[in-house]
Amino acid sequence: MKYSFIFLVLHISAIDLTFAGTNSFINQWTIKNDSIIKVTGYIYDSVTTKGIIGSILTYEALPYGNFIGITQSSDSSGYYEFLTLGNDAYRIEVKAENYKNQVTNIFPINDHIEGTLSKNFSMVREHAERDVILLENLIFALGKSEISENSFPELDRLVIFLKENPGMIIQLEGHTDFRGGKSKNMKLSEDRVAEVKRYMIGKGIENYRILTMAYGGSNPISKNASEDAASQNRRVEVRIIKR
């Protein structure tokens, strides 16, 4: 992780900095160890909760911007970190391609715990109302609407997300592969999204916030006849109708 140059120099110098001022007098600035705070956190997609690689985070000390730096998330978790020094407040701006910018202020000196302040950023996509999210780990019994217990963590993450966004309305969209009869596939996709909706209502999500739509096998991801293609086509997607 790369820190801004000025912070790196101050961190290495650590204890005592001396510099020549104007009018030939010497100013001394002593930096206390406890004034260096590490800020860490994760930058991730607000819906999928997956980390965003390459997000750009800029920070500057308030009110004068006398310390300025840039860092970025460098791996798939969206992790970032940087150092702050001796200031009460910092302004942070986070940018990521295809996401809305976020701006916030932090107060490291007041809010740190043992020299570290944690701050996560949940990024909202631009034009998010058109977002469609695939429930990748949603598993049903073969040819049935029964949800496997292995799917519960995936659905629970969706429940948590909806509770954190109480104004959001979603549409569950059910798909099957295109093998078999059309009417049977349509009924199966209807039953599966209905079962997912029942699960989420049971976890406290209001009925009116979950719409459903069944497509049967009419909208395949792949028209290949292989089993892998058929597996991709059997899916439930979440469309965000309103945030």
Co-location of 210 and 116 in the same domain: no
CA gap 225, 41 in Å, rounded? 44
Co-location of 97 and 157 in the same domain: no
Domain that holds residue 177: 128-242
CA-based nearest residue to 168, from 65, 240, 74:
240
Co-location of 155 and 205 in the same domain: yes
DSSP state of 96: -
For residue 185 the two structure tokens come to: 């596939």
Residue ranges with strand state E in 77-156: 79-85, 89-95, 102-106, 116-118, 121-123, 132-134
The model's pTM: 0.51
Q: In the beta sheet, which residues pair with residue 171?
A: 211, 239
pLDDT 10s per residue in the chain (243 long)? Answer: 444 433 333 333 222 332 233 333 223 333 445 578 899 999 998 777 889 998 999 999 888 877 889 998 988 899 999 998 877 789 999 999 888 899 899 988 888 888 889 999 988 877 655 578 888 889 888 789 999 999 999 999 999 989 988 998 999 999 998 888 888 999 999 999 999 999 999 999 999 999 999 999 888 888 887 888 778 888 999 988 887
CATH number at residue 137: 3.30.1330.60
Q: Report helix, strand or coil for 164.
A: helix
CA quadruple 122, 123, 129, 132: dihedral sign: negative
Co-location of 198 and 151 in the same domain: yes
Number of domains in the chain: 2
Co-location of 110 and 152 in the same domain: no
Q: In the beta sheet, which residues pair with residue 169?
A: 242
